[in-house]
Structure 1
Amino acid sequence: MKSLLHITNGDSFTEKLQTLPLKGDIITWREMLCEGKTLSTVGSESFWKTRFEFLNKNYKVSKSWFVEKTLKEYRSLCNHKQQDQIVLWFEYDLFCQVNMLAVLSWLKTHRRHAEISLVCSGKEDESDKLYALNELSDEKLIALYENRTVLSQDDIEYADYVWQLYCSDNPIRLENLTDYKNYKFDYLADAVKAHLQRFPAIKNGLNGVENRILNLAVNEKPKTKREFLGKILSNQGMYGFGDSQYERMLSTMKPLFSSFSPVRLNKQGKEVIQGKSNFYAQIRDSEAYLGGALKYNFLYNTASNRILKL
């Protein structure tokens, strides 16, 4: 009998997976590497130190919580040395895809002889909807598991390469990747595109996500901040962020709003959305990273869909 390890994208899916009639141990990857500085050496002391500093500063994550929730689970992964089959459960969005790359980079170094396979939810029917794992029925999840994608050594090397580029200080190298279709990652090209649109746009200094938030404020006219967050979450496309991430974005964009109850833009907010005013100088944070790159050292040209270095 081959022994099996499942690595999941988060606690809520781990709970679901535990109810399915599948063998094997389960490890939960508790990170959000799509935000804040990342180092390419996944699992190293400097990697975890960098991550803790970011999470502590921006999300008030305590050391005890970080050790208990993230490091303990990581150590458990390190201790699972015997499994000859490892199944990754991730989703189509940027949040998951970045975590998936990091896990594959770690596995490439530390589990060279295991068979690695991937269950990645997304397009599951004829509709345009992309599905999270938790939205699928038990039968559908078991079918996905039975038809999981076994990754070749080339696939794993490629995932590690994309991870190295994500952690490099220049996103232009990531932008120049074009060979995704040669590998078994159906959603990676779109996730990388979504990532690059997180650099500030030339026209108004806000990135793709922040501009979408302003447009929702104008078009949907939410009555409360809670309703606003709900609309942002359900209209976020490829990002897969949680409410705490959007709360943090809203706090940096606060100078563009006259009120959050009801949600209204002020004069500057309206000018920024129309491209008559540029918010770059006010929102610029010299310590904000996306992967290995400083967010405000690059601009995104929405006309050409290209990144420019400042």
Structure 2
Amino acid sequence: MSSLLHITNGDAFTSKLKKLKLTGDIITWREMLCEGKTETNVGSESFWKTRFEFLNKNYKVSKASFIEKTLKEYRSLCNHKQQDQIVLWFEYDLFCQVNLLAVISWLKIHRKYAQIYLVCSGKEDDTDVLYGLNELSDEHVLKLYETKTLLTQDDIEYADYVWQLYCSDNPIRLENLSDFKNFNFNYLESTIQAHLHRFPSIKNGLNEMETNILQLAMDKKPGSKGQFLSVLLKNQGVLGFSDNQFHNAINRLKPLFSSFNPVRLTQTGKAILKGETSYYSCMQENDVYLGGALKYNFLFNTESQRILKL
């Protein structure tokens, strides 16, 4: 008799999945590996130490909370050794795709005997809208489950390889990937591109997301910080970020805002948007990591769409 384990992308979808009463246990992957330093050895002591230090410093996550929410769930995953079929439930966005790579990298080492399936939501109808799992009806989720993709050994090796590159100190190696279409990851190429656009641009020293934050402040003229966060969440493309992440991003850009109630830019903020000046020297923090790479050791050339090492 084969047995099943489901690994989901978050608590909200875990709740939804429980109501569907599918066979098998459910583990929730509670991490946000798209932000902060990552190490290749997923689940190791140094991996979790690095992650806690980042989350504690940037999101005020306490040790007790980290142990309770993240480490206990990870230990539960470690203890689920009997299941020989594992279903991964993730979404199209950068947040999910980076977590997915890490989970597969872990499974490659610790669950060699298991068949690994992927259910990944995104393009679900004839529109250009991309859907998260929680936005789908129960019937649609069950249909995705019935047509889940069995990952080949090549898929697993490739996901692990991309994870190693994501954790390396040089994003140019990620930039040179070109064979995405040979593997069962429909959204990986677009999210790796979104990741590369998170390095500061030559044009104004801000990355694509930060520039977008200023542009939306200018265009939408939100009446309050709360309205501003709503606008950012709706207009973030394939990042898949939460309000906490945008709140932190706004705080980093605080000197470029004259007011948050209503939301207005300073003259410098407007000049940066026009490309008349750069914010690079003001933003240069020495310990900001994107995967394994230091954010401010690289620049993104928006014209050639290539990354340059400083």
Fold shared, TM-score > 0.5 on shorter chain: yes
SS at 1:19's partner residue?
helix
Instruction: Work out the number of aligned pairs and report it.
Output: 310
Q: Deviations over 1:32-66 (max 9, x none)?
A: 00000000000000000000000000000000000
Q: Measure how far apart 1:266 and its partner are.
A: 0.5
Q: Measure how far apart 1:168 and its partner are.
A: 0.1
Q: Deviations over 1:256-279 (max 9, x none)?
A: 000011010011000110011100
Q: Measure how far apart 1:2 and its partner are.
A: 1.4
The whole-number CA distance in structure 1 between the counterparts of 2:59 and 2:136 is 30
Task: Give the equivalent residue in structure 2 for 1:155.
Answer: 155
The whole-number CA distance in structure 2 between the counterparts of 1:295 and 1:304 is 19
Runs of 4 or more consecutive aligned structure 1 residues displaced over 6 Å after TM superposition: none
- Aligned ranges 1:128-207 → 2 under 5 Å: 128-207=128-207
Task: Give the equivalent residue in structure 2 for 1:88.
Answer: 88
TM-score normalized by the length of structure 1: 1.00
Task: Give the equivalent residue in structure 2 for 1:259.
Answer: 259
Q: Measure how far apart 1:21 and its partner are.
A: 2.9
TM-score normalized by the length of structure 2: 1.00
The whole-number CA distance in structure 2 between the counterparts of 1:250 and 1:154 is 40
Q: Measure how far apart 1:240 and its partner are.
A: 0.1
The whole-number CA distance in structure 1 between the counterparts of 2:7 and 2:191 is 20
Which amino acid letter does the alignment assign opposite residue 305 of structure 1?
Q
SS at 2:20's partner residue?
coil
- Aligned ranges 1:1-310 → 2 under 5 Å: 1-310=1-310
Q: Deviations over 1:99-150 (max 9, x none)?
A: 0000000000000010000000000000000000000000000000000000
SS at 1:299's partner residue?
strand
SS at 1:164's partner residue?
helix
Q: Deviations over 1:245-301 (max 9, x none)?
A: 000000010000000110100110001100111001111110000000000000000
Q: Measure how far apart 1:68 and its partner are.
A: 0.4
SS at 1:199's partner residue?
coil
Which amino acid letter does the alignment assign opposite residue 84 of structure 1?
D
Which amino acid letter does the alignment assign opposite residue 162 of structure 2?
V
Which amino acid letter does the alignment assign opposite residue 139 of structure 2?
E
**Which range is displaced more, 276-285 or 187-196?**
276-285
Q: Deviations over 1:143-190 (max 9, x none)?
A: 000000000000000000000000000000000000000000000000
SS at 1:26's partner residue?
strand
Which amino acid letter does the alignment assign opposite residue 101 of structure 2?
L
SS at 1:169's partner residue?
coil
The whole-number CA distance in structure 2 between the counterparts of 1:21 and 1:11 is 16
Between the aligned residues of both structures, percent identity stands at 69
The whole-number CA distance in structure 2 between the counterparts of 1:235 and 1:116 is 33
The Cα RMSD (Å) is 0.4
Runs of 5+ unmatched residues, structure 1:
none
